[in-house]
Structures are given as structure tokens and as C-alpha cells.
Structure 1
Amino acid sequence: MLATDGASHIDRNRRRSPKLHSHIDGRMRRHILAALGAPASRGRAAGVARRCGLAPLHEGGSLHLYCSPDLPSRSLEDGSIVVGDCFAPCGSGPGRPDEGWGNYLAFGASGRSATIERAPLTGLPLYWTRQDEGVLCSTSLEILSELGCGLAVDEAFVGNSLAYPNLRTERTGVSGLNELLSGSRLGWTGTSATTTEAWSPWNYIAPQPAVSVDDLARQLEAVIIDCTRAWCAGRPEILLELSGGLDSSIVAAALDAAGADFSAINFATAAADGDERGFAAAVSAQFGRELLEVLNDEATIDLVGMPNTVRPRPGAYGVLGGLDLAFEQAVGARSVAIFGGIGGDNVFDFDTSVAPVIDALQACGVSGTSFAALRNVAQASEATLWQAARLSWRAWRDGPRSPWVRETQFCRNEAMPEQPLPHPWDDAPEITPRGKRKHVAAIRRILDFLDRPERWTGRDVIAPLLSQPVVELCLSIPSWTWFTGGRDRAIARQAFARRLPASIIWRKGKGRLESACSAAYLRQRPALRGLLLDGRLAALGFLNRAAIEAYLARDGISGDHDYFRLLEIADIERWLRSLESASRAARMAAQR
């Protein structure tokens, strides 16, 4: 379905007893703890690090740094320490943060000052808070709690999460706790802490020189394969989550081209809309790879139970619980690197609006290029030329809209914030085409997903399509070019057409979990009623209880997708209860 350049219809259709990690949990193997300044905290930090099995990387001056042995780390000539993967620009070996890319955190110290820089786009989330005249940082909420950081809920953050879904900013749901966002730098001067932007997507959106689609496809193929090859180094056991869709299939082709030894896993549902085993089998057969087919047990989906892991912000999706459990049963404690096609739609500019047409008009005026863009976007969206032209005129007349439309359904409008929390990427240059504004917003949305699935918690998860060189190239490509020939993600399709079966390259549809989700909703509706109407969000005055009661009282869902919004709210309620429960437990432990 074609939309104007506001919120896309497809986004609407996709809406879908906790504990802090134990020290002896094998998943504590991917954590970091750092104290900047904070002399009073250094001794406590060293003790907690020892109990968690974290090894000291640096102890002295303004930086005390500890890391799980399973995380790669190395010291650079300037004395800085890189934790995680940092590749050279060409991906041929180790690189430095000032010129390379990866999923690293780079730590530096000089005198009373210290800095931490997080890689653009990917990497371990790092949370930080001011304490004892310094800064404490960790990837783990449990570690920060043991160091005396409170777990009080930030109610303003809760309201923002309800009104602006998937808007990830540096603020978290724990009062006083911030996240160092990807592409940002945290600096400690000895007296104060500040964050600055180290990488911006807007620097890669510029008038594109005359490059043919064939050349762009060759460039994209090469950079994806090169980046995938870099990620494979040092990862002897690779498991690809292979849905059978275009994006994960491209990663399979890149892994094969990179010479990686990998196997694949496919999740299927009992309903036909979520069963893509045939497509996944075609891809695995193409490359002669083992494929593990796992059936989602819909009876294990729990929409109301508190999540297993307490997080600084809403995490695990209840509707994915069956997939998460199926993965755990199939993979267990094996230390595998999980690859996937995460972010393909977002990076390859899969846009269901007419914004690419507007971009072409602004760049080329009324021309053959603009008419071709109109025709291609209409064809890709299965709309008529007239429908596409009418929507384009309406979008041109109305002007660009905010990428984060305020969502108040099932909430009290007066309790919702009027503006979203700020983010470093909010201020796009005025000349930025609206299609590229949407492109950046789409990338921001997927970054909120990278640490959400329960099955990925504490594991080594790699998203090759979100590699910095891949994203920078894709940002530089005009939005309408992605629809060449009347197909979405056209350049990515052409880039891997000779490597993948035609049934994969040219397929239009995608697997869905809607049947499984709707069945789970209808089956657990009585429990959802209690969760939402008698929960913490309602008590805080955020919810429209009458609207929720009326919707829950309906006989069925009649083809609408409003129940996804209810499940979205339920996930926030579940997270909120888990955080408050952990906060009470921490206070009781401190009193003993």
C-alpha cells in the first residue's frame, strides 16, 4: 500500500519473576565495567569486577577498566584500549577508531581526563551515571546496581516510550542512567561529563555523481562481502538466522562468498503466513549449508509474564517469546556467533511512501527521471500512476512530517508528552531531501531492535547489513534509485542476483507472524485485561482505561491491527513491573 511521506502503513501492521543476571550465568561473558575518575568507586568496582569474572585491562589514573575474557581487546600505540571489533577501512585487518569501523568501545585516559567512544551503528550498549565525583559505566544493569546505582523509574521516559515507540535516545528508564549512543563520545574532564557526536549519517547524504545502477550494485555487493568477511574473522562457529527473505539471504550469499563456515536456522509457525521453510531451504541448498528448521510453539508465547531479564529500557517482545524459547532449546549454551539480515529493509531504503518521488522532483525538476521515479514507486507499491501522482501532490503540498508521529491510541492524550526526547540526529541540514530524512529515521528505528530479543541476550550478534561502510554507501544513493525497475531494494536485488535463486531475488512478499500474534492475543485476552487495567501504567495515569476496556470487550479483531498497539503497551507494562521489582529487591538487599 502506498502512503504519503508520513508514517507508513507497513509500520503500523508490524507492531508487535524477572531477575538481574546472575554472576554465574554464562551470559555474563560479554560485559564491561569502567570507572572514570571516581576514586571512591574504584575499590568497589574492582571487587565487583572480580566477582563477575571481569579481567582488568587498565587500573590507574582516571581510568579503571574491566572486561569479560570472551570480548576481544587490544591496546593501541597512543595508549587507548579498544574493546570489541575495530576493522581497518578496507576490512582487511585491525583498525583504529579514528579511521576504522566495527562494534568497538574505545577507552582513553590522560591526566584527570578520560574518554569513551562507541562505534557508529553497532556495538555493545554502554550505560553510564555520575557517582562519587566521577562516572561509572557498564554494559550490565546488574553491575551498576551492585555498585550502588539506584533503579528508580524515570516516569518521563515511560511516557515518551508510550507516545514515540522505538525512539531510542540517551535517556533510559532508570533515573540518572544514560546510554552512550552509537557514534557518540563520552568525555570526563575531572569535574564534569559531557557527550558529543562522533559520527553523523547526514555527512553521507550529498548529491550523488552520475553513477549507473549497475555500478552501484557492484559497489554494494563488494562492500557487503568485504564487511561480512571482516566479521567472520575470529568467529569459528557461525549460525545464520535465515528467514528466507531477501535480507537474510543476502547475508547467506555474503558469508559464502567470504569463505565462512556457517550453518543456518529457520523459525516457522504453524500458520502459513509465518512458514518460510521452502525459501530458506532453497538458499541453504544453493550454498550446500546445513539448515535447522525450528517450529515456533505458540503455546509458549506469554504476553503478560514479566521478562526474564531486567533492562534499562523496554526490551523483549512478548509475541516473540515462542521464537526465543525455540532458539534456546535448539542452540542451548553453545557459544555461536549469530548472524542475520537485521536492518536490511532500513538500510536498503524500503520506503512505502511517495517521498522518493518528491526527492526526484526536487533534484531533477519535472523530467524523465522524475516521471520514471513516479512510475517505479507506483509499480513497487502496486498502485496506479494516478494514485501515486495524487499522493505525491498531497505530500508536496503538506510538506515533510516528523518521522516520529505522536501515538496516543489507548493512552490519555493529556498525559502524553508533546515532543519526543532529543537525539543527536534530530537536526538534519535544511537541504536534506525528505526521503533521506525517512531513510535515517528507519535506520534509527532498527537500532532500537538490536538488543531486544531475549534469545540474543549476552550473545555475539552480528548484523552485517548495518556495517558502517554499507550504511554510508546506502545513504549516499538517491532514494528513488532504490526503486529502479519498479521493485523495492532494487540495487540490493541486482547486487546479489547472480548469487541467489531467482525465487528469492524477485519475491515481493515477506513472512509474517500475524496469525500467531492474533491467536496469542485472543487466547490471553483475559490476562491482558488484568495486566493493563490494573497495572502500573494505569496507576500512573498514562492509559485510557475506557478505550482499552471497550477494545478488549470486542468479539474478535475483525482484520484490524489495533491489538498490536495493545501488545506494545503490554510490553512496556511488563518491563516497568520488572524494573520496579528489581528496585525493591535491591533496596531490601542493601538494608540487610
Structure 2
Amino acid sequence: MKRALLAYLGHEGAAGAVAAVAARLELRGLFEGPGLHLFAGDRVAHRVMPDGAILLGDIFSATGAACHSPLDGWGSFLAFGREGRGWRIDRAPLTGLPLYWMRWRGGTLCASRLEPLIGLVDAPRIDWDFAAQALVYSNLRTERTGIVGLRELQPGMRLLWDGDEPRTDMLWSPWEHVGKVRSAGVAELAPELETRLIGATRSWSSARSNIMLELSGGLDSSIVAAALAGAGADFTAVNFVTQGADGDERPYAQAVASHCGIELIEAELTSSDLDLVAAPAIVGPRPGAYAVLRGIDHAFERAVGGRDVSVFGGIGGDNIFSFDGSVLPFLDAARTYGLGRRAFEVLRDVARGGGATLWDASRLAWQAWRRGPRDGWRRETEFVRQEAIPSSPFAHPWDEGAREHAQAKRNHVEAMRRILDFVDRPLRWADRDVVAPLLSQPVVEYCLSVPSWTWIEGGRDRAVARAAFARRLPPEVVWRRGKGRIESLATRAYLRQRSEIRDLLLEGRLAAQGLLDRVAVEDYLARDLADGDFLYFRLLEIADVELWVRSVEGLGWAGASFDQRAY
């Protein structure tokens, strides 16, 4: 557990048990003093800030001046500092080491994953309200976890412990930056995005060696390759190749690798790598990454082996570059400029970007205007019992302020939240140093301030990002519209394991709890797949929740439950 964390904020009487678990897991002591006992793996970078805060992870200056406190910088960190007679823990906005916490023996017990809690707290209980939410609100990540009594400190939040009760406060909100709209076009905005992204990538890469970029050949990971090259980083890349043509991105990845002058490793994915009903190798407080993506995990391990590499990738590009695909940027422009020439130009761009006629785009815009802004997270109700599922999502700190903004910008922030749910989930990233340069705070804040309609200017999605790196990438990559897919690989795995998926779902814990529409599940699994029918992905998402529930219950812990307070 090279990058694990265990901490206890509380009374000295309970600290010995925490220290014993830390010793068993070979976690080193970083601080043991009144009210705080902090342990971490030997690959967790740490420092003491001038204000006395103990910072774990990476911090970079926001202004160029030295960082005196965690609030002076950005990066991926947790910071433990004094607060009155207690302590505070700050988590960096957007990224940052995960931190799960709970009440325990009159204090607050914290860990970056479940394993350090074994031996301290027993018998985790499934939060069935969470499980029901997970079935209908995909990628909705709040402080609630799937284990009763265990919460997560969200990015950009602070956990305060005053010696008696823990509470959380918000330190950073995306809406502050959405409100700073930059009224300029692509040509004016692209150079600043280029500068910020290369600068952020230089910060991440300067102290790292053995950088491995996951290079799909798509726009986003290619931009990261160009940013790494622009930052002067020494790196190699790996491209994952499917047996089907839909996932073979080698020509694009090879073009980028040649352009940047780097080595490219090609790792083949096979359907035999996908076991859609296997229990997750690591059990977390929430379901892990989708089983359908496990083939990438296996291919990565074959390519990288036991080498300790820093993994960079293009994760988050679609999200922060506002890859929307709807007519909402037009409604946003009409709201800003009125129904005049400027709004009509945006409507034309939206139509061109979606391959639609102006008439079709106008009709869709009218329908969207009539419906009004969507309130809350998207619900997915296929294969679940309507009477058993929640009608509203769990609350999130960023819900506050959303209604003041147009739906296009709400979608932008929602997309960003969705990708933040994914950044610590893939198995291949577990206990590795993983960097997502596109989610760097200076980059995200800038992207949030770009008007929604500018991202589709000229009828091209992610227009500002394309223009920013047009001179640094091959034209066939920077201007491409398509993306690689793994549907053919997933379809073969689904058809091969359909009977096992049926048993998993119909005889599982979710069905026993009355959450699934058993008839709908059975009917779908019994019929042949038609061309273009990918509804089975929805079944696989449900199967992931079922596998996680079984894995948590199979841990076999016994004793006091997570929500029981022991004093």
C-alpha cells in the first residue's frame, strides 16, 4: 500500500490501535501529536507548509510566488492543519487523494481506502439507499458512500474537527468561474488555453520520471501528448488496440507519437480479457470501474508489467472542453444576445456540428426551450422497479448556485462532476501515481469561463481546444470527429456470458431487495441483440453494482458496525 493513508483525529486512548494497523500495513508515521495521528505509504509525497499544515501530494503555486498555505496553490493534495483546539483537512479542488472518514471512538477516523479500516472497525453494512441511487443516478458522486457511516471528503471541501464533532465546508465552487464569462472567439481564447495546459503539464511532469501516457489517438489524449512534448517531458505512450476495427486507433496514435518523437507501445485487447461477472479485485466504498473496461486493465499490466510508472492520460477532455452535442449553446447565446444575428450564427454552428439541418436544429431548440432547464441529475430507470427507486438524487455542495445559470453551463459542470467520479476507479490505476493534466485547476477554471457557444464555433466540437493545439498535432488528429469504440469487444463478452449475467442479476442481492424489474431483465436477456442495440451496457452497469454489494458482504468482517459509536 505504497500510496495509502490512515489518520485519526481524536483522543490519545484510541491512537494505539490506529498505530498498530499502520505498522501492519507498513505505513510510516508522518505526525503523532495531540489530536492527530497521521500515517502514509512510502510513495506519498509530503511536506510541512510555512503555516504548519502537513501536506500530502502535489501542490503548485497559483501565482508564481511561494505557497505559504494550501489555499495558495493548486494540485492533488490533502492538507492537515491546526484549527483552534482541533484540526482541519483540506482536499484540493478537482483532484486530490481520496479521503473517507467516519466517527470512531469519540474522534474521526480517516483512510484513503477500505483496507486500513480492517482491524479497527468491523462489519460494514451496505447502505441500500445508496445502492438504489447508484442504479438510477449514474456517476453521481456525493459524500455518501455505499457503506453506512462512511463518508467521503469531496474535492474542494474541508473537514473540520473541533474535538467533539466533525463538519464540512466548501472551499471551491465551479460556479465562481462560470460567472467569469470571456466574451471572445476561438482565435482569442485558444492561446491562453494552450499556455495554461502546457504550464500545468510542466508542473506535473517536472518532478516525475518514467511517465507513461495512455494515448488513445483521440483528441484529448493527443492534446496531453502535445502538452507533455511542449513542456519538455520525457515520456512514452501506450495505445490499446481491439481486435475489431471500431477500437483500432493505431494510425492516429502512431501519427501523434511520430509528431512528438516518442516511443509507442501497442497493447492488444481481447474479449477473453473481459470477465463481466468476476468479483472486483479491490473492494472500495463504492462500485469500481465498469467490468467492461477490465480488458484495458489487463492489457496495461501486460504492457507495463511491474514497472512503477506515472500514468498520464486524457481523462476529462470531453467534460472540460464541453463536448455537449445538444442545442443548448444556442439557447445560451439567445439568452445572452437575444434572437439576432449572433444567436443565429450559433444555431448554424450547432446544426453543422450535429450534422443536422437548420430546420431540425430550430425545432429541437424550440422543444428544449419549451421544456425548460432540467432540475437535478439525469435518471436512468431501465430494468429497475419504479416504486423502489428514489425520485431525487443525494445533495452535492455544487447544487447550490446551479439554477442561476443556463442549462448549457449546468451541463458543463455536470459533465465535470461525472468524470470526477471516475478518476480513482480503474483497477490499473490502483496504488499508482496517476495524473490527469486536463483536470488541472487552472485549466478547468479557464474552460468553465469559456462561453458554451464558443466550444462549438465553426461547427466543430471542442473548438477552443482544437485551435489551441492545431500547430502541435497532426491535422488528421486535431480535426478528426470520430472516436474509437469498444462495442464489438463488449458485445462478444456479453453474448459469451449472458447466462452468467442472468444468474447474477436474477438471483442476486439487488433483486432480493426488490430493486430490479425481474421480468424486464429476463425478457431482455432472452432476446437476440439487434444491430445498434447497446442497452445491454445498462445491464452491465447494474451488474457492477451487484458485484460490489456481494464483495462488500463477502469481506466477512464481524463486530461493531461502521455506524456504531464506541466511546
Match of 2:564 in 1: none
The partner residue of 1:106 within 79, 82, 87 is 79
d(CA) in 2 for partners of 1:569, 1:91: 47
Give the C-alpha shift of residue 217 in structure 1: 0.2
Deviations 1:480-534 (A, max 9, x none): 0101111000000000000000000110000001111111111110110100000
Q: 1:269 to 1:429 in 2, by over 3 A?
A: closer
Give the C-alpha shift of residue 48 in structure 1: 1.2
The partner residue of 2:523 within 530, 542, 550 is 550
**CA contact 1:145–1:151 (8 Å) conserved in 2:** no
More off after superposition, 420-429 vs 508-517: 420-429
**CA contact 2:28–2:42 (8 Å) conserved in 1:** yes
Match of 1:316 in 2: 289
Alignment partner of 1:281 is 2:281: no
Q: 1:499 to 1:586 in 2, by over 3 A?
A: farther
Alignment partner of 1:216 is 2:184: no
Structural mapping, 1:320-469, within 5 Å:
320-469=293-442
**CA contact 1:92–1:230 (8 Å) conserved in 2:** no
Alignment partner of 1:506 is 2:495: no
Give the C-alpha shift of residue 141 in structure 1: 0.4
RMSD of the TM alignment (CA)?
A: 1.7
Give the C-alpha shift of residue 365 in structure 1: 0.3
d(CA) in 1 for partners of 2:542, 2:315: 24
Give the C-alpha shift of residue 305 in structure 1: 1.2
Deviations 1:30-78 (A, max 9, x none): 0111111143321111111112121111111111111112111100122
d(CA) in 2 for partners of 1:313, 1:91: 38
Alignment partner of 1:291 is 2:291: no
What residue identity is the alignment partner of 1:446? Answer: I
Match of 2:110 in 1: 137
**CA contact 2:60–2:75 (8 Å) conserved in 1:** yes
**CA contact 1:39–1:132 (8 Å) conserved in 2:** no
Match of 2:489 in 1: 516
Give the C-alpha shift of residue 213 in structure 1: 2.1
d(CA) in 1 for partners of 2:153, 2:353: 38
The partner residue of 2:90 within 95, 103, 117 is 117
Deviations 1:199-222 (A, max 9, x none): 000000125244342221000000
More off after superposition, 260-269 vs 231-240: 231-240
**CA contact 1:119–1:183 (8 Å) conserved in 2:** yes
Alignment partner of 1:170 is 2:153: no
Deviations 1:7-44 (A, max 9, x none): xxxxxxxxxxxxxxxxxxxxx00011111114332111
Structural mapping, 1:475-494, within 5 Å:
475-494=448-467
Give the C-alpha shift of residue 124 in structure 1: 1.4
**CA contact 1:86–1:95 (8 Å) conserved in 2:** no
Give the C-alpha shift of residue 152 in structure 1: 1.1
SS in 1 for 2:500: helix
d(CA) in 2 for partners of 1:96, 1:555: 59
**CA contact 1:187–1:194 (8 Å) conserved in 2:** yes
**CA contact 1:310–1:578 (8 Å) conserved in 2:** yes
Give the C-alpha shift of residue 298 in structure 1: 1.1
What residue identity is the alignment partner of 2:548? Answer: W
Give the C-alpha shift of residue 558 in structure 1: 3.7
Q: Aligned pairs, how many?
A: 562
Structure 1: any 5+ residue segments left out of the alignment?
Answer: 1-27
Alignment partner of 1:496 is 2:469: yes
Match of 1:20 in 2: none
Match of 1:9 in 2: none
Match of 2:58 in 1: 85
Give the C-alpha shift of residue 93 in structure 1: 7.2
d(CA) in 2 for partners of 1:302, 1:91: 48
Match of 2:227 in 1: 254
SS in 2 for 1:104: strand
What residue identity is the alignment partner of 1:143? Answer: P
d(CA) in 1 for partners of 2:180, 2:98: 33
d(CA) in 1 for partners of 2:203, 2:67: 9
d(CA) in 1 for partners of 2:183, 2:479: 26
**CA contact 1:220–1:495 (8 Å) conserved in 2:** yes
**CA contact 2:83–2:162 (8 Å) conserved in 1:** no
Alignment partner of 1:48 is 2:57: no
**CA contact 1:91–1:227 (8 Å) conserved in 2:** no
Structure 2: any 5+ residue segments left out of the alignment?
Answer: 561-567
SS in 2 for 1:435: helix
**CA contact 1:240–1:339 (8 Å) conserved in 2:** yes
SS in 1 for 2:400: coil
Q: Scaled by the length of structure 1, what TM-score is found?
A: 0.93
SS in 1 for 2:424: coil
Match of 2:509 in 1: 536
**CA contact 1:55–1:68 (8 Å) conserved in 2:** yes
Match of 1:266 in 2: 239
What residue identity is the alignment partner of 2:338? Answer: G
Q: Scaled by the length of structure 2, what TM-score is found?
A: 0.97
d(CA) in 2 for partners of 1:482, 1:68: 42
**CA contact 1:106–1:118 (8 Å) conserved in 2:** yes
d(CA) in 1 for partners of 2:65, 2:398: 30
What residue identity is the alignment partner of 2:335? Answer: Q
d(CA) in 2 for partners of 1:367, 1:586: 67
Match of 1:8 in 2: none
**CA contact 1:186–1:196 (8 Å) conserved in 2:** yes
**CA contact 1:38–1:131 (8 Å) conserved in 2:** no
Match of 1:181 in 2: 154
More off after superposition, 558-567 vs 370-379: 558-567
**CA contact 2:122–2:557 (8 Å) conserved in 1:** no
**CA contact 1:415–1:542 (8 Å) conserved in 2:** yes
d(CA) in 1 for partners of 2:182, 2:218: 31
What residue identity is the alignment partner of 2:528? Answer: D
Give the C-alpha shift of residue 359 in structure 1: 0.3
d(CA) in 1 for partners of 2:552, 2:436: 28
**CA contact 1:403–1:441 (8 Å) conserved in 2:** no
d(CA) in 2 for partners of 1:29, 1:345: 31
SS in 2 for 1:34: strand
What residue identity is the alignment partner of 2:302? Answer: Q
Q: 1:529 to 1:430 in 2, by over 3 A?
A: closer
**CA contact 1:304–1:570 (8 Å) conserved in 2:** yes
Give the C-alpha shift of residue 353 in structure 1: 1.1
SS in 2 for 1:316: coil
Match of 1:237 in 2: 210
d(CA) in 1 for partners of 2:373, 2:144: 26
What residue identity is the alignment partner of 2:136? Answer: A
Match of 1:205 in 2: 178
Match of 1:13 in 2: none
**CA contact 1:63–1:109 (8 Å) conserved in 2:** no
What residue identity is the alignment partner of 1:260? Answer: A
